[in-house]
Structure 1
Amino acid sequence: MIVDIMHPNYVATVRSVIEEYPGVCMVQPGVEIIDADGKVVNTMVDEAKRRLYAPRIESRELMGGEDLAASLLRGCWFYFPSICWRSDVLKAVDFRDEFQVIQDLALVIDLIERGEQMAVDNTLCFQYRRHAVSKSAADAVTGSRFTEARAFFSTSPGGWTPRGGPGRPGRPAATPRPDCTPSRCSRRRCARAP
């Protein structure tokens, strides 16, 4: 089985970004998607990331603060294994133990809350392997991935709360359907949703 592939220009690309933005915490270079056999693919998930959520940049851009956080919370468009990290900052923040799949987004949001920034560069220098037996794919089938995401979005140690959460006005919970039970509800605003 093929694994993620770092192209020969990865290090030069990242070094160039760091020279332009000294002190940047995260560098997200250009990525293309491959399947388990190493064939370049264009999945619906990745097309949505690219067209709907990823920032539209011409070549390179420094992002941070609320703009970056809002962009990622709308749709997690980065490719975690491809990111180059500033190790001193990364050592100060740890993965959250309560998450198994969404821990990458939680870590990046924690870093943004600390004031760190991400440089995004379009130079293709990494191939990300997407395959059906990954933890994320398996948990999507069982639904546990979405339960975990819901838990992440409903609380944050940084103080933000979801729309309608404590201390923030929002829409009231939706009226439950007659066939709705706490274990089966999938409607986000339902009063019986877990």
Structure 2
Amino acid sequence: MLVDVMVPAYGDGAHLRETVASVLAQGDPSWRLTVVDDGVAVGRDPGLGPWLAGLGDERVRYLANPVRLGINRNFQRCAELSSAELVVILGADDRLLPDFVARVRRLAEQYPAAAFLHTGARIVDEAGHPTTPLVDRVKARTSIRVRDSAEVGGERLAASLLRGNWMYFPSVVFRRAALVEHGFRPGFDIVLDLDLYLRILRGGGTAVLCERPGIEYRRHSASLSSARADDGSRFIEERAFFTEAAAELTAHGWPRAARAARWHLTSRLHVLCKLPGLLVAGNLGGARTMLRGALSTVPAGLPDGAGPGEGVHTR
């Protein structure tokens, strides 16, 4: 069983080369690496292709987009270019642990009906050193806990992810059939992962949750989510998504999950955490955008007595 490791990239860089090295270092050779570069068309360093070709490994493929696609469409292109039964879309600054491929292949055989697997992650900083930011400490305490591994799905998993998306997307391995069937919906950059999980779950798919981490996930200030948080656009996208998700989940007959979407407490709390820094920096426009989102009225339709008592996750 082959694993397609798809890396949506934006030009060359030291972190990306670490990502590639982590794939080459896999103990199980049953992988294929494809780097889809979305930066060449806008003048980013073209040296990545020659460097990858120079590795001399026929399992490594490089593709440069002729025009800039952006985050969402490049992820979708990665999904469409894959062909193996198992597919992981790995961040261009994250690293696989050496037994990642071997483990996910075993788990896929052990749970043949699961649509995707989540191995979890070790968190590292910009320099690659272990770190424990508040967001990840909360995730560790509030995610669905399993012993070794377990298959989970339905409203239980949907509601938990909507309270706080604790899945690290680069450590999620999809069955290609499920990934291609549902794909990435245009218009979402920040919540494209959560949107995909929910559509798979509503379609009857399940996930395997694993206790032991499979990747190293890099936290740094240059990430898209950090930049979008500073200007407030992240929270505009999230609110639109949660409003839509609440309606769809209500119609689907999952009231607990719909309630979690209506409250979207993770997004609101993230706003409140970011506000002091924005005010100190004088970014009043971003602060106003965030505050409107955090204090806006909860959409109508909450059951009597419903509220934020089901648990709080921080992304």
| TM-score normalised by structure 1 residue count | 0.82
Q: Residues 158 and 96 from structure 1, CA distance in 2 versus in 1: closer, same or farther, beyond 3 angstroms? A: farther
| Identity over aligned pairs, percent | 36
Greater alpha carbon shift after TM alignment, 12-21 vs 81-90: 12-21
- Counterpart contact for 1:28–1:84, Cα < 8 Å: yes
The answer to whether 1:21 aligns with 2:129 is no
Encode CA deviations 1:26-79: one digit per residue, 9 max, x unaligned.
Answer: 111131011111111111111111112x11112111110101101100110000
1:20 offset after TM fit, Å?
A: 1.6
Encode CA deviations 1:126-151: one digit per residue, 9 max, x unaligned.
Answer: 10111101110111111111111111
1:124 offset after TM fit, Å?
A: 2.5
Instruction: Give the corresponding residue for 1:156.
Output: 245
Letter in 1 for 2:103: T
1:25 offset after TM fit, Å?
A: 1.1
Distance 2:185 2:244 in 1: 12
1:125 offset after TM fit, Å?
A: 2.3
Find the structure with the greater CA-based Rg: 2
Distance 1:100 1:37 in 2: 25
Query: For this pair of structures, how many residues does the alignment match?
Result: 173
1:157 offset after TM fit, Å?
A: 9.3
| TM-score normalised by structure 2 residue count | 0.51
Instruction: Give the corresponding residue for 2:122.
Output: 32
Distance 2:137 2:229 in 1: 18
Distance 1:67 1:82 in 2: 20
- Counterpart contact for 1:136–1:145, Cα < 8 Å: yes
Return the match for 1:72 from 141, 156, 161.
161
Instruction: Give the corresponding residue for 2:144.
Output: 55
Secondary structure of the structure 1 residue equivalent to 2:295? coil
Q: Residues 44 and 157 from structure 1, CA distance in 2 versus in 1: closer, same or farther, beyond 3 angstroms? A: closer
Instruction: Give the corresponding residue for 2:101.
Output: 11
Structure 2: runs of 5+ lacking an equivalent: 1-13, 16-92, 251-257, 262-287, 300-315
Encode CA deviations 1:80-134: one digit per residue, 9 max, x unaligned.
Answer: 0111110011111121212111111101111111111110111232101111011
- Counterpart contact for 1:13–1:123, Cα < 8 Å: no
Greater alpha carbon shift after TM alignment, 65-74 vs 23-32: 23-32
Letter in 2 for 1:4: D
1:156 offset after TM fit, Å?
A: 3.3
The answer to whether 1:122 aligns with 2:122 is no
> RMSD between aligned alpha carbons?
2.2
Secondary structure of the structure 2 residue equivalent to 1:84? strand
Return the match for 1:146 from 213, 235, 252.
235
Instruction: Give the corresponding residue for 1:102.
Output: 191
Instruction: Give the corresponding residue for 1:177.
Output: none
Point out which structure has higher relative CO (alpha carbons under 8 A, 6+ apart): 1
